Amino acid sequence: MSQVLLSGFADEIGPDPAKQIAVLQANNVHYLDLRGVGGKNVLDLNKAEIDTFRQQLRDAGIGIACIGSPIGKVQIRSDLEAHFSRFKIAVERAQQFNTQNIRIFSFYHQDEQAHACRQEVIAQLQRMVEYAANAGVTVLHENESGIYGDTPERCLDLLKSINQPHFRAIFDPANFLQSDCNPKDQCWPLLAKFVDYFHIKDVDTPSGQVVPAGYGDGQIEWTLAQALNNGFSGYLALEPHLNADHPVHGGNGAERFTKAVAGLRRVLDNLGITTG
């Protein structure tokens, strides 16, 4: 039976860990994607900060769905040995926070076409996936705009070229829209069988504004229906990215996060889906 679990990038609520936890609890969200806490990136936390936050999460009954690392969000022609050392820290964080998932990207390619750096991108991702697999960790690729894997065709190229069960796809419909790709017609048909994880945000195409799920053109309800019909079980991670000044969807971090949760729950209600 399919099981849908809600998670969220709690650093969009604010830097304070107690505030992050309180807002997650108020919205009945029991997992978070750990990108930042206390104003620091997850890879830069020291041992005391890790131990303290882990205890806070245990006390609150909140788990970590994924390490929301910035790995791969650098130029492919940068110092990749230093970046691989950062990746090793991400794997360590996954183990410390008891999650099997790490979010990564597939590198920027400033001043050159994507095809010109394809082999270098694949080689770096392959190296990371092999290291992660040996640690029992799965690498999840996010289709961020501007990186090698920002189109469905190049995402598919990466997934098929590496062809490893510890390398899977995050499906982010808003990012695809921002790369001028239609999530329903272009992206889902190519990538459906590789998707293990969703980032939930939407885009109103005419304005370019990021909006809660169901308020834009990302076809999130349709896509989730397809995924669930195909047996999807896993996390829907809210990454609100809402504009604080938006007249409808704005507000402070807690208010924007709450509006993002409400949008997704409305979509899930339409599908008759209850969440864990």
pLDDT tens per residue across span 169-178 = 999 999 999 9
Share of the chain above pLDDT 90, in %: 98
Mean pLDDT of the region 118-142: 98
Mean of all residue pLDDT scores within the chain: 97
pLDDT tens per residue across span 187-204 = 999 999 999 999 999 999
The answer to whether position 169 is within a domain reads yes
The answer to whether position 2 is within a domain reads no
Residue 69: predicted pLDDT: 98
Indicate which CATH number applies to the domain containing 254: 3.20.20.150
The answer to whether position 27 is within a domain reads no
The answer to whether position 52 is within a domain reads no
pTM for the structure as a whole? 0.97
Distance CA 244, CA 84 (A): 35
Give the bridge partners for 32, in sequence order. Answer: 64
The answer to whether position 251 is within a domain reads yes
Domain count, the chain: 1
Residue 226: predicted pLDDT: 97
Mean pLDDT of the region 71-87: 98
Mean pLDDT of the region 27-42: 98
Model confidence band, residue 247 (pLDDT cutoffs 50, 70, 90): very high
Residue 276: predicted pLDDT: 67
The answer to whether position 56 is within a domain reads no
Residue 233: predicted pLDDT: 94
The answer to whether position 126 is within a domain reads yes
The answer to whether position 41 is within a domain reads no
Distance CA 53, CA 231 (A): 34
Mean pLDDT of the region 240-268: 97
Mean pLDDT of the region 139-152: 98
Name the residue range of residue 230's domain: 68-270
Residue 1: predicted pLDDT: 55
Mean pLDDT of the region 82-89: 98
Give the residue, 11 or 274, on which the prediction is more confident.
11
